Amino acid sequence: MKALIEGILKFQKEAFPQRTDLFKHLSTTQHPGTLFITCSDSRVIPELLTQQEPGELFVIRNAGNIVPSYGPAPGGVSATVEYAVAVLGVTDIVICGHSDCGAMTAISSCKCMDHLPAVAGWLQHAESAKVINQSRKHASDADRLSSMVRENVIAQLSNLQTHPSVRLAQQQGQLNLHGWVYDIETGSVEALNGATNQFVSLAEHPETCAHCSTPINAVA
């Protein structure tokens, strides 16, 4: 806790004064362009990874970067997705998985989670990815986990498209969906190519998109 308090004091003394005008503007409004959905893992920091300033990302974080399918009793993730799309008008949604994910490790290794009933219930939303991943042969446990992380991103993108606000925005040509996998050790990011259903290097293919309604401006 001491480190957090020291961090607050450093923020107030150093970081905040450098962005006084920005925070003054953000005090009454926000217009993020992207909804970024990723894992709660402490090693994954969306703003650091994407080098974005306050106000530029609307973020959802949970175990396994999961988006439950839309249903009769929508929860906090569904409400946040709906608000981001229907109220804030984000033009892009990124679902970002990552290497060495604890949630995906538990699923891929069929780890018993009887002592974690809430976690076990939550990870049921990744069941379709689990079934597909288990049907394939893997060279090693590491390969099985890597595949599970990617299958989960694909599955959560499918779940995301069951949300009415998302489907409507897509049909109106106002929303692009992206699937990323971040490697913690190397800092590299792979992106899902919706046309081939394969993950490719985002650095080499910056225009890559999972489900695009509008053109992506390639980064040089």
pLDDT computed for residue 112 by the predictor: 87
Q: Any idea which fold 31-201 has?
A: Beta-carbonic Anhydrase; Chain A (3.40.1050)
Non-local (6+) Cβ contacts of 54 within 8 A are 19, 22, 23, 26, 47
41 three-class SS: coil
Domain residue extents for the chain: 1-30, 31-201
**Rg, C-alpha atoms of the chain:** 18
Non-local (6+) Cβ contacts of 64 within 8 A are 39, 101, 103, 104, 122, 123, 125, 126, 152
**Span 78-105, pLDDT tens digits:** 999 999 999 999 999 999 999 999 999 9
CB atoms within 10 A of CB 109: 12
- Residue 217 reports pLDDT greater than 70: no
pLDDT computed for residue 220 by the predictor: 47
- Residue 57 reports pLDDT greater than 50: yes
Residues 96 and 186 sit within 8 Å (Cβ to Cβ): no
CA–CA separation, 32 and 89 (whole Å) = 8
- Parallel, antiparallel, or unpaired for β 34-39 and 57-62? parallel
127-134 and 141-160 helices, crossing angle to 10°: 140
**Span 103-151, pLDDT tens digits:** 999 999 988 899 999 999 999 999 999 999 999 999 999 999 999 999 9
pLDDT computed for residue 74 by the predictor: 74
